[in-house]
Amino acid sequence: MEFSHTPIMLDECIKGLNIRKDGIYVDGTMGGAGHSEQIAKNLGPKGKLICIDRDEDAIEAGSLRLKPYGEMVTIVRDNYLNTVSILKNLEIEKIDGILLDLGVSSHQLDDAERGFSYRYDTALDMRMDKRQTLTAKDIVNNYSESELFRVIRDYGEDRFAKNIAKHICQRRKEKPIETTFELNEIIKAAIPQKMRIEGGHPSKRTFQAIRIECNNELEILKDSINGLIESLNPGGRLCIITFHSLEDRIVKTAFKTAENPCTCPPQFPVCVCGKKSLGKTVNRKPIVPDEKETEDNPRSKSAKLRIFEKNTDIR
């Protein structure tokens, strides 16, 4: 199927990156290249854009869409976690801006064979990178009840996590759980009928949790932000779009720590730890889509954009 992904808060992201014509920029989650193409349009002949994605479908679609920009664009199939080493391999020391659009893409959700969505009856997969061996099926069938409970509770924030984990483990004793609809039935049975009616689709939170675990999404985000900030030139910007509270909390905390890394006790009259601020958060409150965008693209409703700018006196 065609790779389609409507870029979230496109104008806000371009403005947030504060693009210089001759700058070097990274789109760490290229997807369908909607954001990437707009960044490229704002660059001059000496500008450079590095696009990263771990999904082979995204690489194929992005390569086609960005072909008109020629050597201005470099596309790398990898994880944005490895941005620092990717830049090193390209002999690039510092960059002027980075964009991350986190979470699952519309293409991944809408492609039934990928197994991301509870709306299609298909094999449990959920891998963003098909080269990895761990799948959603492995998690559902091989994790212990306590591990499943942790995943669904922590990543899905589902108050019925314990009961869902219990029902999964009971059902898989009969036979392996192989499809999304089989998992749907188990989740439905684990949630009281009243709550199923009031709380939207009963599988939403559990599918989110398993997807996050399968792709190690939150740990990758935690482990990436400091390195991405370090990669910026003075005045460079890091823009991150999140889609749920867990991601947003990680970004907010990391930006706050980068802005004020001092670990001295509050009663100390002056800082003695020697840790210097790396920059500032541009927007104290996250930027969210306007009403028109949420109407046109309902999947944008939970999106939040946070922007960090590196200090101009840091090399």
Q: Can you read off the two tokens belonging to residue 149? A: 């409970």
Judge whether 302 and 200 are in contact, CB under 8 Å. no
DSSP string for residues in 199-256:
SS-TTHHHHHHHHHHHHTHHHHHHHHHHHHHHTEEEEEEEEEEE-SHHHHHHHHHHHH
Judge whether 108 and 128 are in contact, CB under 8 Å. yes
The pLDDT, as a whole number, for residue 136 is: 97
The domain defined by 113-215 carries CATH number 1.10.150.170: yes
Q: What is the largest distance, in Å, between two alpha-carbon atoms of the chain? A: 65
Same fold: 10-107+217-310 with 113-215: no
**pLDDT, tens digit only, all 315 positions of the chain:** 455 567 999 999 999 999 999 999 999 999 999 999 999 999 999 999 999 999 999 999 999 999 999 999 999 999 999 999 999 999 999 999 999 999 887 778 878 889 888 889 999 999 999 999 999 999 999 999 999 999 999 999 999 999 999 999 999 999 999 999 999 999 999 998 777 666 678 899 999 999 999 999 999 999 999 999 999 999 999 999 999 999 999 999 999 999 998 888 888 888 888 888 999 999 989 999 999 999 999 889 999 999 999 998 765
| pTM for this prediction | 0.92
The pLDDT, as a whole number, for residue 197 is: 64
Cα angle, residue 129 at apex, residues 123 and 131 outer, rounded to 5°: 90
Q: Write down the H helix ranges in 83-203.
A: 83-89, 106-110, 136-142, 145-156, 161-171, 180-190, 193-198
In the chain, where are the structural domains located?
A: 10-107+217-310, 113-215
- Say which CATH superfamily domain 10-107+217-310 falls into: Vaccinia Virus protein VP39 (3.40.50.150)
Quick one: residue 122, left, alpha or beta (phi over 0 = left, psi -120 to 50 = alpha)?
A: beta
The pLDDT, as a whole number, for residue 4 is: 56
